[in-house]
Amino acid sequence: MDIYLVEALLNGLLLGGVLALLALGLNLIFGVIDVVWIAYAELVMCGMYVVYWLLALAALIAILSVAVLGLLVHQLIIAPILGSPAINQLLATGGLLFFLQSFATLLFGTDFRNIGLRLPILEFADMNVSFARLIAFGVAVLGAGALYGFLSKSFLGTAIRAIGQDREIVGLMGVDQRRIYLVTSAIGGALAGLAACLLVLQYDVHPFIGLSFGPITFMICVLGGLGNMLGGFVAAFIMSEIISVGGFYFSQEIGEVLAFVVFIALIFVRPQGIFGRS
Amino acid sequence: MLAVESLTKSFDGFRAVNRVSFELRKGEILGLIGPNGSGKSTIFNLIAGALRPTSGSIRLDGSEIGGMSADQVCHLGLARTFQIPRPFRKLSLLGNVALAAFFGQRQRVTRGEAERQAARALELAGLPSDPRATTGGLGAAGLKKLELARALATQPRILLADESLGGLDHTEMDQAAAVLERIRAELGITIIWVEHIMGVLMRVVDRVIVLDHGENIFEGAPTEVAQDPRVIEVYLGKGHK
């Protein structure tokens, strides 16, 4: 096989790790609280700024501050409209998306900023692989694994999964639904913060960086079956491979166009997503 | 210990429960019967915090609990089972019940203690406490037992048992009745038992309340209920003498 194709496949795999992490956070929120955070990638953008400004201790602070941001999003925006129609909730988080973009522009301007940290490119077997991508992939997979462990092994995690299935019964078992929603929102925020730490190693920060990841993350979630965390995880790698390999044969843009075409085709065949139940 | 007073619940003007009053005495088994749609399950939902009363009061040991959320009511020692069993299929039997033991008590317990309590509740309800047992092979009777085990795991003082689905044969109903009697005898739990047919219930309960169209039409000993003209009318139809 062509060594450059192998390199493209490898890069696709590495890109998939971070996309999977983003899809995981969004799916968690949707699966548990039944609300779509359309501004999710903007939380990532906020996290990237935190890393940019506070490089020392940055990762930890970025994760914590986006977790708090997630908590605030739930408490201030979602909780008051939890009972209203889905479209209103979508519009409210859509409003948040524009608010965060504009607020970031106001604070930081539209300059592209990077942390000035240039990680080396690894060369092996005639392939070039970015060290930043390798780290991002490794940490993303570890993060996803940690979340999986928490959700399947701890009582709190089990309650989080259970509440998505049956709100009423979980209440009768003494689980406080509001507390679960807050914890879930904070975890969703922390995942966005973690993704921000990984992305800032590879991309410049600017107020509209969310647009580079938001649409693809939603596509991945829908493709995997909205709310289905395993489906989203797998779909992330399918999409990232299409983008990367398409980019290798044609160009980065065509790669993304191909990803959307495949998405549209698959959604025609399976509207509930590849892993969703009808 | 539980006092319900002129409890009313309207859905868009329709009164599902209309000024119902009754008192639950410590240590008794109180039967709540009535035809389908008579308001039995709505009363359970109001007491357990799934619904908010339109008016009236529900007092537990003198303090108002009407309008509290389900988890708050659960932490006060009130547990209910559902008419239609709803287990979490992805969790094991023990996992289902341990979740209730862990979150259902006001005092937090450790993981090990929650699992021990869950195993005890499963045994009491007549199910295997083996951690590998799944919900997969359970039939209607088994799922009912799981509902009961889950309610018991929250260590309640009062159990609201909704058995009104039927779906059980005579032997299974006798077993269910025996389990409720055992729960009262061994754990000292006070019970309200909802059923829409009289049968087995009458042999077990101390007192019975009959509901019709959301109203309390009879309250008294199970021996008297069959002679009450209004109850006869509701159950056997007008014109029956």
The per-residue pLDDT for range B103-127, each reduced to its tens digit, is 999 888 899 999 999 999 999 998 9
Domain ranges of chain B: 24-52+65-236
d(CA B48, CA B162): 12
Residue B163: HSE in the Cβ half-sphere, 13 Å Cα cutoff: 29
Q: What's the confidence (pLDDT) of residue B74?
A: 93
Question: Cα–Cα distance between A17 and A45 in angstroms, integer?
Answer: 18
Residue among B49, B69, B154 whose CB faces A173 most closely: B154
- Does the pLDDT at position A278 exceed 70? no
What is the average per-residue pLDDT within A159-178?
A: 85
pLDDT band at A201 (very low <50, low <70, confident <90, very high): confident
Helices (H), chain A: 3-33, 40-53, 58-72, 86-108, 131-153, 155-165, 167-172, 177-199, 210-224, 229-249, 252-269
Structure tokens that stand for A218 in this block: 């939603």
- Partner residue opposite B74 with nearest CB, options A162, A166, A174: A174
Q: If you average pLDDT over every residue of chain A, what do you get?
A: 84
pLDDT average, residue stretch B226-241 = 71
Residue A250 binned pLDDT confidence (cut-offs 50, 70, 90): confident
CA distances from A278 to A101, A114, A225, A275, B90 (A): 36, 44, 10, 9, 18
| Residue B79: per-residue pLDDT | 93
DSSP string, B53-110: -SEEEEEETTEE-TT--HHHHHHTTEEE--SS----TTSBHHHHHHHHHHHSSSS---
Q: How confident is the model at residue B241 (pLDDT cuts 50, 70, 90)?
A: very low
Q: Is B7 helix (H, G, I), strand (E, B) or coil?
A: strand
| Structure tokens that stand for B29 in this block | 């088994």
Q: What is the pTM for the complete model shown? A: 0.76
- Report CB contact under 8 Å: B71, A169: no
The angle formed by the CA atoms of residues A231, A237 and A241, to the nearest 5 degrees, is 145
Q: Where does B166-225 have alpha helices with state H?
A: 170-187, 201-204, 222-225
Q: Work out whether the CA dihedral B68, B70, B71, B76 comes out positive or negative.
A: positive
Using the beta-carbon criterion (under 8 Å), do B71 and A177 form an inter-chain contact? yes
- Which tokens in the block code for residue A251? 């160009």
pLDDT of residue B240: 47
Interface with A, mutate which of B45, B69, B71 (most A CBs under 10 A): B71
Sequence-separated (6 or more) residues with CB below 8 Å from residue B115: B94, B98, B101, B131
| Mean pLDDT of the region A101-111 | 85
Whether A191 and A197 have beta carbons less than 8 Å apart is answered as: no
Residue pair B105/B75 in contact by the 8 Å Cβ criterion: yes
In 3D, which of B198, B101, B124, B201 has the Cα closest to residue B161? Answer: B201
What's phi and psi for B133, nearest 5 deg? -65, 135
User: What pLDDT is recorded for position A276?
Assistant: 67
CA proximity to B222, closest of B241, B240, B195: B195
Q: Which residues contact A175 (CB under 8 A, 6 or more apart)?
A: A159, A162, A163, B71, B99, B103
> pLDDT value at position A277?
64
* B88 touching A (Cβ < 8 Å): yes
Instruction: Give the pLDDT confidence of A28-66 residue by residue, as tens digits.
Output: 888 788 888 888 888 888 888 887 777 656 778 888 888
Residue B204's pLDDT band, with cuts at 50, 70 and 90, is confident
For A93-97, A191-195, B86-90, B183-187, which range has the lowest pLDDT when averaged over its residues? B86-90
Q: Please give the residue that has the higher pLDDT: either B241 or B81.
A: B81
The radius of gyration of chain B's CA atoms, rounded to the nearest angstrom, is 18
Interface of A with B (CB under 8 A): 155, 158-159, 161-162, 165-166, 168-169, 171-177
Q: Identify the pLDDT of residue B238.
A: 54
Chain A positions touching B95 (Cβ under 8 A) are 158
Q: How far is A194 from chain B (nearest CA, A)?
A: 29
Q: Residue B151 above 90 pLDDT?
A: yes
Which CATH architecture describes the domain B24-52+65-236? Answer: 3-Layer(aba) Sandwich (3.40)
B154 touches chain A (CB under 8 A): yes
Question: Closest approach of chain B CAs to the CA of A273, in angstroms?
Answer: 21
